[in-house]
């Protein structure tokens, strides 16, 4: 661990953000996208992209006006401690729920796919402990872990998609416009929350090389959009619509479907690291957001004392859904569907306040 302020390189930030933004494809996110976009579901991530790029640019514009500060300190300066207190509370509660639901889904994935007789009470704490260990080691450890594993994860992801190429059926994405352009646009709009993970950038910015924050945000959003679009497209090509609606874990089903002759079957175990490492990095990033936001709001010099209490809340949240399907449905509604409304509103308020303030300053 380094002394003083952590330093996060451009590549490390991009790796961390891309994994964090796109890990959702490994769990049940796609399963709930297909009923919205039908055979054109692969277009939804592409339709998200312009909004995601603009959103990232807006956040970076805000961050650049207050160099060296995170969204928490910026909020306090722009709207005062009371209003910002509510904003921060919202960030914290939202990301605790977000982490809890993602944690539950990854744990359920392990039980469904590999360890059917292992109790949930073992799988959930195992993932949580891994994420907590990374967050305890700090932001630098998290970012470097993401960077080191990024190539392995990227290679595994591309390999998995390519290994299904002998199963691709072009009719899977036909009719081309799925539910129609209007319904498709509404599906894209109502799932804009898929990009809320970009909020991590608002906490990373002070530790990134100056002048590279915008590039890190845009590259990450572009790469993550490509990952989600590719995963959606290949799932459609392999399972075809409407059958693609059925699997609760579409990417895992892709891994199970791989078949090249008699010997290259049962490949899902080969791709297990893709799920495990993505889960650990993604969960650690989400836990870091919770603890860093709380530490900054409470003006603590270090986020570590908050890891354990936050983890307790997350574990409680992870065990709250009575079953996997509730965790999946609630997870989608909370994280992907409407989360962009409150978060977007808060960012909008901060951006408006910053703009008004700069206008006032210019007048003076």
Contacting range for another protein; rule: CB under 8 A; set: 50-58, 261-269, 286-294, 299-307: 261-269
Specify the stretch interacting with another protein by CB under 8 A; choose among 94-102, 241-249, 288-296, 321-329. 241-249
344 binds another protein (CB under 8 A): no
* Element of type H or E holding 122: helix 120-137
Residues 235, 318, 191, 245, CA torsion sign: positive
Cα distances (Å, whole numbers) of residue 343 to 26, 135, 278: 24, 24, 24
Asked if residue 209 binds another protein (CB under 8 A), the reply is: no
Q: Is 1 in the site for another protein (CB under 8 A)?
A: no
Q: Could you tell me which stretch among 53-61, 95-103, 150-158, 251-259 binds another protein (CB under 8 A)?
A: 251-259
Using CB under 8 A, which of the segments 25-33, 83-91, 125-133, 279-287 binds another protein? 125-133
The single residue among 7, 171, 210, 359 that binds another protein, judged by CB under 8 A, is: 171
Dihedral over Cα of 219, 224, 227, 229: its sign: negative
- Closer residue to another protein in complex, CB, 179/225: 179
Instruction: Tell which one of 243, 316, 341, 345 touches another protein (CB under 8 A).
Output: 243
Contact pick of 113, 138, 305, 344 for another protein (by CB under 8 A):
113
User: What is the smallest separation between the CB atom of 347 and another protein, expressed in angstroms?
Assistant: 35
Please give the C-alpha separations between residue 15 and each of 66, 91, 142, 272, 278, in angstroms, as whole numbers: 24, 23, 10, 19, 11
Stretch that binds another protein, among 57-65, 84-92, 151-159, 233-241 (CB under 8 A): 233-241
Tell me how far, at minimum, the Cβ of 187 lies from another protein, in Å. Answer: 12
What CA–CA distance (Å, rounded) separates 264 from 364? 71
309 binds another protein (CB under 8 A): no
Window 131 to 170, contacts with another protein (CB under 8 A): 133, 167, 169
Q: How far apart are CA 288 and CA 120, in angstroms?
A: 23
Is 40 strand, coil or helix?
A: helix
Q: Are 27 and 103 in contact (CB under 8 A)?
A: no
Is position 174 an interface residue for another protein (rule: CB under 8 A)? yes
Q: Cis omega before residue 301 (within 30°)?
A: no
Q: Which of 50, 80, 242, 309 binds another protein (CB under 8 A)?
A: 242
Report in angstroms how near the CB of residue 321 gets to another protein at its nearest.
19
Q: 260 - beta bridge partners? A: 264
Report whether 48 contacts 231 (CB < 8 A): no
Cβ closer to another protein: 255 or 347? 255
Element (H, E) at 112: helix 71-113
CB hemisphere CA count around 228 (13 angstroms)? 34
List CB contacts of 226: < 8 A, sequence separation 6 or more. none
Residues in 25-64 at the binding interface with another protein, rule: CB under 8 A:
38-39
Interface residues with another protein (CB under 8 A)? 38-39, 112-119, 122, 126, 129, 133, 167, 169, 171, 174-180, 239-243, 246, 253, 256-257, 259, 262, 265-266
């Amino acid at each position: 661990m380094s002394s003083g302020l952590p330093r996060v390189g451009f590549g490390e930030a991009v790796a961390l953000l891309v994994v964090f933004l796109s890990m959702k494809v490994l769990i049940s996110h796609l399963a709930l996208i297909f009923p919205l976009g039908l055979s054109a579901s692969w277009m939804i991530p592409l339709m998200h992209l312009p909004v995601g790029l603009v959103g990232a640019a807006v956040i970076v514009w805000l961050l650049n006006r207050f160099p060296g500060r995170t969204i928490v300190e910026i909020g306090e300066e722009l709207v005062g401690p009371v209003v910002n207190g509510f904003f921060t509370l919202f960030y914290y509660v939202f990301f605790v729920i977000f982490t809890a639901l993602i944690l539950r889904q990854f744990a359920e994935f392990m039980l469904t796919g590999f360890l059917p007789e292992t109790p949930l009470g073992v799988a959930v704490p195992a993932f949580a402990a891994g994420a907590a260990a990374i967050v305890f080691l700090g932001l630098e450890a998290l970012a470097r872990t993401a960077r080191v594993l990024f190539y392995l994860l990227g290679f595994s992801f591309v390999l998995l998609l390519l290994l299904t190429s002998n199963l691709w059926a072009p009719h899977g994405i036909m009719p081309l416009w799925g539910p129609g352009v209007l319904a498709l646009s509404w599906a894209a709009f109502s799932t804009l929350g898929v990009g809320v993970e970009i909020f991590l950038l608002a906490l990373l910015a002070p530790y990134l090389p100056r002048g590279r924050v915008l590039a890190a945000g845009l590259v990450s959003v572009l790469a993550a959009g490509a990952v989600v679009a590719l995963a959606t497209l290949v799932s459609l090509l392999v399972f075809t619509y409407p059958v693609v609606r059925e699997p609760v874990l579409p990417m895992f089903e892709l891994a199970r479907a791989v078949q090249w002759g008699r010997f290259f079957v049962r490949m899902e175990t080969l791709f297990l690291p893709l799920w495990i490492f993505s889960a650990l990095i993604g969960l650690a990033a989400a836990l870091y957001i919770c603890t860093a936001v709380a530490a900054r709001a409470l003006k603590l010099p270090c986020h570590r004392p908050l890891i354990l209490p936050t983890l307790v809340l997350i574990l409680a949240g992870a065990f709250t859904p009575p079953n996997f399907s509730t965790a999946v449905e609630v997870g989608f509604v909370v994280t992907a569907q409407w989360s962009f409304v409150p978060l977007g509103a808060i960012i909008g308020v901060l951006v408006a306040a910053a703009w008004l303030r700069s206008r006032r300053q210019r007048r003076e």
